[in-house]
């Protein structure tokens, strides 16, 4: 982005943080999937890698890839559509960059039951 006083460059990590926070706030998203390669890169380099988010940032545009885990029972296609919209809006409004794509890869389903449901389904063995 060119300004009268020079150039503004937004770091990839800034866009990744915005996308990651927005994704984690999206209804139906249980969490982000980092994968083994990302975990290994973090341990080897010591670099704080944003879990489940990969971005490419140019001077005017950004492309975002998200690896997510969906909550069981949610309509995956609807959650992903909302996720794409929310991330695009957040990044564009906060950075001024044009988001050309938000790719979502669903890598799992969170099967955790709520503690209340677990108590109801498991009968007490000892009285």
Query: Does 114 map to a domain?
Result: yes
Question: What is the per-residue pLDDT for 35?
Answer: 65
Query: Does 127 map to a domain?
Result: no
**CATH number of the domain within which 48 lies:** 3.30.70.1350
Question: What is the per-residue pLDDT for 126?
Answer: 80
Per the structure, how many domains does the chain have?
1
Question: What is the per-residue pLDDT for 120?
Answer: 57
DSSP assigned state of 72: T
The per-residue pLDDT of the chain, averaged, comes to 84
Query: Does 70 map to a domain?
Result: yes
Query: Does 18 map to a domain?
Result: yes
pLDDT digits (tens, 9 = 90+) for 56-102: 999 999 999 999 999 999 999 999 999 999 999 999 999 999 999 99
Instruction: Check: CB of residue 22 under 8 Å from CB of residue 82.
Output: no
pLDDT at 5 over 60: yes
Query: Does 90 map to a domain?
Result: yes
Q: 3-state DSSP helix/strand/coil percent for the chain, to nearest 5? A: 40, 30, 30
β-pairing verdict for 6-7 and 2-3: antiparallel
Query: Does 7 map to a domain?
Result: yes
pLDDT digits (tens, 9 = 90+) for 52-63: 999 999 999 999
Provide the pLDDT confidence category of residue 37 given band limits of 50, 70 and 90.
Answer: low
Provide the pLDDT confidence category of residue 47 given band limits of 50, 70 and 90.
Answer: very low
pLDDT at 2 over 90: no
Q: Read off the pTM.
A: 0.76
Query: Does 21 map to a domain?
Result: yes
Q: 102: domain range? A: 2-121
């Amino acid at each position: 982005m060119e300004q009268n006083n020079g150039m503004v460059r937004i770091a990839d990590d800034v866009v990744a943080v915005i996308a990651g926070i927005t994704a984690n706030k999206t209804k139906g998203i249980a969490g982000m999937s980092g994968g083994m390669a990302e975990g290994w890169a973090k341990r080897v380099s010591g670099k704080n890698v944003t879990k489940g988010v990969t971005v490419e940032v140019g001077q005017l545009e950004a492309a975002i890839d998200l690896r997510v885990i969906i909550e069981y029972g949610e309509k995956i296609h609807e959650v992903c559509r909302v996720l794409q919209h929310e991330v695009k809006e957040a990044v564009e409004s906060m950075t001024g960059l044009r988001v050309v794509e938000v790719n979502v890869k669903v890598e799992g389903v969170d099967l955790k039951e709520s503690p209340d449901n677990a108590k109801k389904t498991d009968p007490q063995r000892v009285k």
